[in-house]
Amino acid sequence: MIIRGGTFGPVATNTYVVAERQGGEALIVDPAMGSARWVEETLARFELTPLAVYATHGHWDHVVENHVWADRGVPVWAGAGDLDWLRAPAPFNPALFGNPPPTPGVEPARLLNEGDVLELGDLRLVLIETPGHSPGCLVAHEADRGEALVGDLVFAQGVGRTDFPRSDPQAMLSSLKRTFAELPGATRIYPGHGPWGVSLAEAETFARMFM
């Protein structure tokens, strides 16, 4: 399994390229502001063909370059709960994003829900709905390889914020409890911000301080 990450944009958002093998198909995960060239170079380095853009959730910093790839014919896949933010990306916190210019929206080609599977060759990323940070937050878990794309649910040393519009602290707590209960502690996590590749058990130690 290939997972490569880079960090971009005004709030240091992680963008990933995920594939089963060199020469196969790839997911572009959360294309942040300024990530397009790095994604292009990563795809070329591993001779990958982009299958889709996968949005872990609909916040502006994670979807700002969706349109770059949609304009090239790459479909966008995203959680149904954040559909309106995909159609009209909303930088709702100017203090964080610095009043960025209007961002073109995208109509997702596939709306994702609990239990859906993202397939890349033999990879099977099973989706878990984890609302709280936003209504449409998803975790994508590849059980056989022990990897999970966790978006802004949990970080190496913290959890996602719940003071944004449509955030829900109680839903966040439930999502964290469920994730820690259902995913093995050895699972390597790839969050939307901060270090990646740490184990879920390591991240849980810090997350418990916020629960």
Question: Which tens digit of pLDDT belongs to each residue from 91-113?
Answer: 877 777 777 778 999 999 999 99
- Express each pLDDT in 165-185 by its tens digit: 999 999 999 999 999 999 999
Report residue 155's pLDDT band, with 50, 70 and 90 as the boundaries. very high
**pLDDT at position 102, please?**
82
Lowest-confidence region among 22-26, 51-55, 96-100: 96-100
List of domains in the chain: 2-210 (3.60.15.10)
Residue 57's nearest CA partner among 29, 36, 34 is 29
Task: Please give the Cα distance from 1 to 208 (Å, whole number).
Answer: 30
Per-residue pLDDT at 173: 97
SS (H, E, C) the chain: CEEEEEEECCCCEEEEEEECCCCCEEEEECCCCCCHHHHHHHHHHCCCEEEEEEECCCCHHHHCCHHHHHCCCCCEEEEHHHHHHHHCCCCCCHHHHCCCCCCCCCCCCEEECCCCEEEECCEEEEEEECCCCCCCCEEEEECCCCEEEEECCEECCEECCCCCCCCCHHHHHHHHHHHHHHCCCCCEEEECECCCCCEHHHHHHHHHHHC
Question: For the chain, what percent of residues have pLDDT higher than 90?
Answer: 93
Q: What is the pLDDT of residues 110-150, one digit of tens each?
A: 999 999 999 999 999 999 999 999 999 999 999 999 999 99
Per-residue pLDDT at 77 exceeds 80: yes
Quote the pTM value: 0.96
Cβ burial of 96 (10 Å; 0-12, 13-18, 19+) is middle
The pLDDT value recorded for residue 92 is 78
Residue 211 has pLDDT above 90, yes or no: no
pLDDT band, very low/low/confident/very high, at 90 (cuts 50, 70, 90)? confident
